[in-house]
Structure 1
Amino acid sequence: MILSGILKLLGVLAEFFLGIPAIGGTFILSLLWTPLLFMLVYYIITLVVSRVSGAPIWGPVVGIITSVVGFIPFVGMTLHWIAFFCLLADGILTLRSKDRSQTGKL
């Protein structure tokens, strides 16, 4: 479960960068939307790892939706912000539930 939490928090860093209005948009457009394809594959891997470890999957699902619809200029930027907060919450909750299960305070 720790791997899925770390993958989600790494996704948070990427979404933070991609959600910056001028910088993220310029980065995505200059690479012809390749970062969105990379993030789609990344979130599919994160989804599989989360599913196998029994962690919540709603963060990677939001990331997948963001990667698919993210090519629309202002909608994409807003979705990157939403994905940032969803993945942040999901990653923290995943890591906290791992800590509780290891200490016996479940």
Structure 2
Amino acid sequence: MNRSSIMKWITGALEGFWAIPFIGGTIILSLNWTPLIIMLVLHIITLLLSISEGKTKHGSILGIITSCVGFIPGVGWTMHTITAILLLIDAYRSEKAIEM
């Protein structure tokens, strides 16, 4: 498994966690939106790894956008959900491509 796939699994799982209704939002609000900044950094790292390894980068780009608009109620939840699904599918496909 390559580094970009590992980071996609991690960021996808974290995005999925933030998408849990009430729990993710409550934690993000209680920590004063710090998790969104951390996720922004993680998505940028994942994007740079994907670029250097020649892997797809659309999940990381959407993650960066999600981190920037995640503070908007409703929109944030929707974006976290979509980004989590996209990143996890992308990580799975990258892993399958390596096995073949």
Q: Shorter chain as normaliser: what TM range?
A: over 0.9
Amino acid aligned to 1:67: S
Aligned alpha-carbon RMSD (Å): 0.9
Separation of aligned partners in 2, 1:58 and 1:67? 14
C-alpha displacement of 1:13:
1.2
SS in 2 for 1:71: coil
Separation of aligned partners in 1, 2:71 and 2:22? 14
Moved more, 89-98 or 23-32: 89-98
Greater Rg by CA: 1
Give the unaligned 5+ runs of structure 2. none
Give the unaligned 5+ runs of structure 1. 101-106
The alignment-based identity, stated in percent, is: 48
Tell me the residue number matched to 2:91. Answer: 91
Tell me the residue number matched to 2:36. Answer: 36
C-alpha displacement of 1:96:
1.3
Query: What count of residue pairs does the alignment treat as equivalent?
Result: 100
Q: Is the 8 A contact 2:13 2:88 kept in 1?
A: no
Q: Is the 8 A contact 2:66 2:83 kept in 1?
A: yes
* TM-score (norm. length: structure 2): 0.96
* TM-score (norm. length: structure 1): 0.91
Moved more, 23-32 or 1-10: 1-10
